[in-house]
A and B are shown apart, each in its own frame.
Chain A
Amino acid sequence: EDQVTQSPEALRLQEGESSSLNCSYTVSGLRGLFWYRQDPGKGPEFLFTLYSAGEEKEKERLKATLTKKESFLHITAPKPEDSATYLCAVQAHTGGFKTIFGAGTRLFVKA
């Protein structure tokens, strides 16, 4: 069964304090691993798709990496506006475009 586990559940950082969020996954035939950002009461916002082990993607202060079992979302010198829930998700080659999501990591960045 396809599964996604994210850690930690919550992370509190000071502004400028870099850190990483972890996503462990099992999937039969990875089509893509995704990172989304979700603000309270809103729908998730797409950040990245990673397709194969060794791949990296960057966007502003965020950098996502992928291995065969895990993905990391590195946040460099975060700002208060980076505070949100970050969701990791996987999609298999079978099952259409059905995507399985992790429970998310709630990030709080204090000024």
Chain B
Amino acid sequence: EAGVTQSPTHLIKTRGQQATLRCSPISGHTSVYWYQQALGLGLQFLLWYDEGEERNRGNFPPRFSGRQFPNYSSELNVNALELEDSALYLCASPREGGDYGYTFGSGTRLTVV
């Protein structure tokens, strides 16, 4: 199956700036899931978009937001960046075949300095 693509691969920002991360799901898939993986921690659920709507969000402050476009690609925006926002941000699509698993992208490594 065609994969999930994320851009950019790496992003370096200064504290207080805004970061925009992008994701294209598996072709034809309508759902996008965003996760944050801070160093040494597990994947933390951020946001779920489906059919252009935000369906669920994790326990993150409102400065984490996003949107889904008509072609089902998605953006994750992080405003007023803090040092602890440094992490690997992963995007996922539900797998084909009905096993409820995810296909993940390679992630965007965000570093806040």
| B48→A97 contact, CB < 8 A | yes
Measured in the bound complex, the distance between the Cα atoms of B41 and A55 in whole Å is 28
Using CB atoms, name the residue of chain B closest to A43.
Answer: B104
Measured in the bound complex, the distance between the Cα atoms of B92 and A44 in whole Å is 10
Interface flag for A78 (CB, 8 Å): no
List the B side residues contacting A103 at CB < 8 Å: 40-42
List the B side residues contacting A46 at CB < 8 Å: 95, 99, 101-103
List the A side residues contacting B103 at CB < 8 Å: 46
Total B residues in contact with A, Cβ cutoff 8 Å:
29
Using CB atoms, name the residue of chain B closest to A35.
Answer: B101
* Nearest CB in chain A: distance from B8 CB, A: 14
| A32→B88 contact, CB < 8 A | no
Partner of B42 from the list A31, A87, A96, A98 (CB cut-off 8 Å) is A87
* Nearest CB in chain B: distance from A13 CB, A: 21
Interface flag for A26 (CB, 8 Å): no
| Contact A44 B94, CB 8 Å, known A96-B48, A98-B56, A104-B42 | no
| B33→A87 contact, CB < 8 A | no
| A96→B55 contact, CB < 8 A | yes
Q: Residues of B at under 8 Å CB distance from A?
A: 4, 31, 33, 35, 40-45, 48, 50, 55-56, 88, 90, 92, 94-95, 99-107, 109
Q: Residues of A at under 8 Å CB distance from B?
A: 4, 31-32, 34, 36, 41-46, 49, 87, 89, 91, 95-104
